[in-house]
Structure 1
């Protein structure tokens, strides 16, 4: 536990964080992440954060050393996609019981589980995650992993990020520490070249990195390792031989990028593949870093030629949507890097941003939002469901872009909704991804179902006044009873 405490303190003192640089020594030790309130882990715990970062490594077995419930709902917690191996989609757990805890059989059961996975699946590596229970009872997973690696001849990586130590974001960084300590630098690639890069913090959600990689391939730039999206263990083990790196989500793996720069002289920058302008800027920055690291300067010219070609194609496709979407109002309830990257992308085609959430965004993310929107009134830290519903029901936005948690608020307000978080079904990165995002927004806003659901129900319409045929006494009595029960007046319902 003392080793884990030291790692957490090191993450809190992250010098690459702009916010940390402005703090004094005492404030820096308190860290950036708020501690979890016991029993309130709705935003995700450290274990969840570590699993999110490492699970998209597709050929690795991910073993949860814990009671069954710790793994129950996290086997596929993000919509990352794989171009090959599917082992990462298989759940492995030691399934500790109360009797195992009382009798102290946790370490023995973990060793046995590692052996069974090795014999049944033969993966290149096994990642072992302790949770609150196994960390509190003191199971020494590092010792077990070391012994198992020696006995079975494969990498067994301990990921020390039990849930109680902090937030999901802290777990992201602890996962990066595990990669630095046990994986990166353990294999030497025999084909390293001057055009090799790493992409950090890219999860390949809905396969969207596959819309960006062909652009890099056309420039002759090889992605040595994409961490973690669609990654392979051996690629990450040789990631230290890349010449440059791009950080897609700084809140997750900034410590990984900074330490790789210190150890292996791999410069990095933070960028985004959302939107036409941001994608072009990212390609330029990658090319410039590679040239500074020794690549042929002609790469810069080829990059500009590719950008000009792809931008022309994308703007031509977007021109068809501009008359239909220009002036439409979008409310963005997300966070992190999307709080500014998606905002910038949508404003490029004339869409008005009426609000964007900066929950889980860094200080740098918030500054970018302010620079883009130039109005703090459109920025909110978080919005309660009641406030969100009031805003949508008053028609202050034409569509809500958010995650699945708030989709029913939009549906109740009879407002179009589009998922742009990790559960999304469509890729939105790169030039083609931007066109797809605009197409999905257009389909959602102009779907005829919204006109139908907004029409008043028949029972809310005023009754029609028409001449009625004479009724018998029994018919009249029956009608009065029905009307009294339904709370209506004489006459049939009319059309609205």
Structure 2
């Protein structure tokens, strides 16, 4: 546990984090996130964060050394996609019981599980995750993993991030530390080139990185490792030979990018593939970094030619949507890099942003939002469900973009909603992804269901009476039925 404490303190003292540098020494030791309450349910725990970052490594066996429920609560918690191996979709756990805890059989059971996975599946590596229970009883997973690696002849990587040590974001960074300590730099590639890059913090949600990779391929740029989206173990192990890196989500893996720059001189920048302008700027910065590291400067010209061609195609496709969406108001209830990248993407086609959440956003993210929106009145750290509902029911927004947790607030307010978080079904990255995002917003706003659900319910309406004529038996029966159902009288019913 002493080594774990050292890692946590090292993560808390992250010099690449602008927010962290502004703190005094005491505040820095407390970390970036609100501490967890002992004994309370913590869905966003450190274990969950580590699993989120590492599970998209598709050919690795992910073994949870814990009671069954820990793996059940974390399996497949992101919509990442794989172009090949499916081993990451198989759930492995030691299924620790009370008897195992009492008799001290945890380490023996873990070693046996590693052996069974090796014999049955033969993966290139096994990642082992302890959770609160196994950490509290003192199972030494690092010793077990080291012994198993020697015995079975394959890497067995301990991911020491039990849930109680902190938040999900801390777990993200501890996962990066595990890669640095046990994976990256362990394999020397025989095909390293001047146009190799790493993409860090990209999860390939709904396969959206596959919309970006063809652009890089056309420029002759090879993605040595995308961490973690659609990754392979050997690619990550040789990631130290990349010439440059792009950081997509600094909230999660800024420590990984900084330490790779220190150890292997891999420069990085933070960018976004959401929106036309941001995608173009990301391609430019990648090319510029490669030139600084020795690539032929002619790639800069080819990059500009590609950008000009792709932007023209994208804007032509968006022409049909601009008059329908220009001036529409969007409430963005998400966070992190999407707090500014999606904002910028939507503003490009004339959509108005009435509010954006900056929860889980870095200081740099917040500054970008201020620059885009010209003030911070449209920024909020967290909005209570009651406030979200009030804002939507008062028609201050035409659509809300958020995660699945708040979709029912929008539906209750009879407001269009679109999933923008990890559970989404459509890819939104790159030029084609931007067109798809706009198309989905247009479909949501102009869906005819909203006109229907906003109409008064039948029992709130008085049946129309033919002018100057008495009600027919049918009209009278209908009115009585409505009155009986609504528990009201004819005098209480208003004309609709």
Indicate the TM-score class for this superposition, using the shorter chain for normalisation. Answer: over 0.9
Can you list the C-alpha shifts for 1:330-353, whole angstroms capped at 9, x where unaligned? 000000000000000000000000
Q: Which residue of 2 aligns with 1:449?
A: 449
How far apart in 1 are the matches of 2:477 and 2:205?
Answer: 65
Instruction: Confirm or deny: 8 A CA contact 1:458 1:495 kept in the other structure.
Output: no
Match of 1:201 in 2: 201
- In the superposition, relative to structure 1, how do residues 491 and 340 fare at CA in structure 2: closer, same or farther (>3 Å)? closer
438-447 or 370-379, which deviates more? 370-379
CA distance in 2: counterparts of 1:470 and 1:435, whole angstroms? 57
Residues 132, 461 of structure 1: alpha-carbon distance in 2 compared, 3 angstrom cutoff: same
Query: Structure 1 residues 31 and 465, CA, compared in 2 at 3 Å: closer, same or farther?
Result: same
Q: CA deviation at 1:33?
A: 2.1
Structure 1 residue 381, shift from structure 2 partner: 0.4
Change (3 A) 1:324 1:138: same
> CA shift at 1:31, angstroms?
2.0
Q: Assess if the C-alpha contact under 8 Å between 1:79 and 1:424 holds in 2.
A: yes
Report the alpha carbon displacement of residue 431 of structure 1 after superposing the two structures with TM: 0.5
How far residue 469 of structure 1 moved from its aligned partner, in angstroms, is 10
Q: Distance in 1 between matches of 2:434 and 2:479?
A: 59
Query: Are 1:130 and 1:160, in contact at CA under 8 Å, matched by a contact in 2?
Result: yes
Task: Tell me by how many angstroms 1:491 deviates.
Answer: 10
Post-superposition CA distance 1:408-434 (Å, at most 9, x none): 000000000000000000000000000
Preserved CA contact (<8 Å) 2:459 2:482: no
Report the Cα distance in structure 2 between the residues aligned to 1:393 and 1:243, rounded to whole angstroms: 51
How many angstroms does 1:479 deviate by?
9.5
Distance (Å, rounded) in 2 between the aligned partners of 1:255 and 1:101? 35
Q: Deviations over 1:427-481 (max 9, x none)?
A: 0000000000000000000001100110111111134445999999999999989
Asked whether the 8 Å contact 2:159–2:178 carries over to 1, the reply is: yes
Can you list the C-alpha shifts for 1:34-87, whole angstroms capped at 9, x where unaligned?
Answer: 211234455500000000000000000000000000011311000000000000
Q: Write the deviation string for residues 170-212 of structure 1: whole angstroms up to 9, x where unpaired.
A: 0000000000000000000000000000000000000000000
Q: Is the 8 A contact 1:463 1:494 kept in 2?
A: no
Gaps of 5+ in 1: none
TM-score calculated relative to the size of structure 2: 0.96
Q: Aligned-residue CA RMSD in angstroms? A: 2.5
Cα distance, 1:292 vs. partner? 0.2
- 8 A Cα contact 1:465 1:491, kept in partner: no
Question: Compared with structure 1, are the counterparts of its residues 308 and 94 closer, same or farther at alpha carbon in structure 2 (3 Å cutoff)?
Answer: same
Once the two structures are superposed, what CA deviation does each residue of 1:150-180 show, in whole Å capped at 9, x if it has no partner? 0101000000000000000000000000000
Query: Deviating runs (4+, > 6 A) in structure 1?
Result: 467-482, 491-495
For residues 8 and 193 of structure 1, do their structure 2 counterparts lie closer, same or farther at Cα, with a shift above 3 Å needed?
A: same
The structure-2 alpha-carbon separation of the partners of 1:383 and 1:477, relative to structure 1 and needing over 3 Å to count, comes to closer
Q: How many residues align?
A: 496
Answer with 485-494 or 306-315: which moved more: 485-494
Whether the 8 Å CA contact 2:195–2:221 is kept in 1: the answer is yes
How do 1:323-338 and structure 2 match up within 5 A? 323-338=323-338
Q: C-alpha distance in 1, partners of 2:260/2:104?
A: 39
